[in-house]
């Protein structure tokens, strides 16, 4: 493989951007493709995080692991339409907040957010 670029690390977007995993739906791309590609990435990262053998990256696995961690996240919105996205069944854990008091515990009691 030959990589052609005018700038290399540490001067690319990838060098400075955070790497939070979440499928972003692009209106130009069918949702099923976005989900398929996103889950492929998720499965790769999960296997890496679990220390599974991945032939393609075995030589640089230790370096990759330095920048990888599994963490939980919370998405809060007053629009409930994004709830239960197509990928929710395919990740380790997806939970919806059902009780307003759960939001209160998280400090959203005066923000107008609804569950
Ligand atoms: C602040 C910020 C936060 C982000 N957070 C997240 C996040 O949490 N999760 C997430 O998934 N994504 C996030 N992103 C988006 C993500 O960082 C990018 O989608 C990703 O880094 C793009 O990778 P890339 O390899 O395609 O592009 P780049 O890392 O930008 O690399 C592009 C390469 O192409 C070269 N190049 C470009 N044009 C030419 C040309 N005309 N001729 C020769 N070479 C060229 C550049 O020099 C560079 O080497 C974030 C982005 C930003 C800016």
Tell me the average pLDDT of the chain. 85
Indicate the top mutation candidate among 4, 11, 16, 18 to test ligand 1's pocket, ranked by most ligand atoms within 8 A of CB.
18
Token pair recorded at residue 83: 């709830």
pLDDT in the model for residue 65: 92
> Rounded CA gap, 88 and 98, in Å?
16
Instruction: Indicate the pLDDT class of residue 115, thresholds 50, 70 and 90.
Output: very low
Phi-psi region of 27 (alpha: psi -120 to 50; beta: other; left: phi over 0): alpha
pLDDT reading at 51 higher than 50: yes
Q: What is the mean pLDDT of residues 59-63?
A: 93
> Rounded CA gap, 80 and 63, in Å?
39
3-state percent helix, strand, coil for the chain, nearest multiple of 5: 40, 0, 60
Token pair recorded at residue 49: 């995080």
**Which is more confidently placed, 88 or 83?**
88
Indicate the top mutation candidate among 17, 20, 24, 39 to test ligand 1's pocket, ranked by most ligand atoms within 8 A of CB.
17
């Amino acid at each position: 493989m030959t990589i052609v670029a005018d700038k290399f690390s540490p001067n690319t977007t990838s060098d400075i951007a955070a790497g939070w995993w979440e499928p972003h739906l692009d209106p130009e791309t069918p949702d099923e493709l976005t989900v398929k590609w996103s889950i492929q990435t998720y499965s790769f990262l999960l296997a890496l995080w679990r220390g599974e053998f991945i032939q393609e990256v075995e030589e640089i696995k230790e370096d990759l692991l330095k920048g990888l961690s599994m963490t939980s996240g919370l998405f809060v919105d007053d629009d409930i339409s994004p709830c239960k996205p197509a990928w929710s069944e395919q990740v380790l854990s997806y939970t919806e907040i059902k009780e307003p008091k759960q939001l209160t515990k998280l400090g959203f009691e005066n923000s107008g957010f609804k569950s």
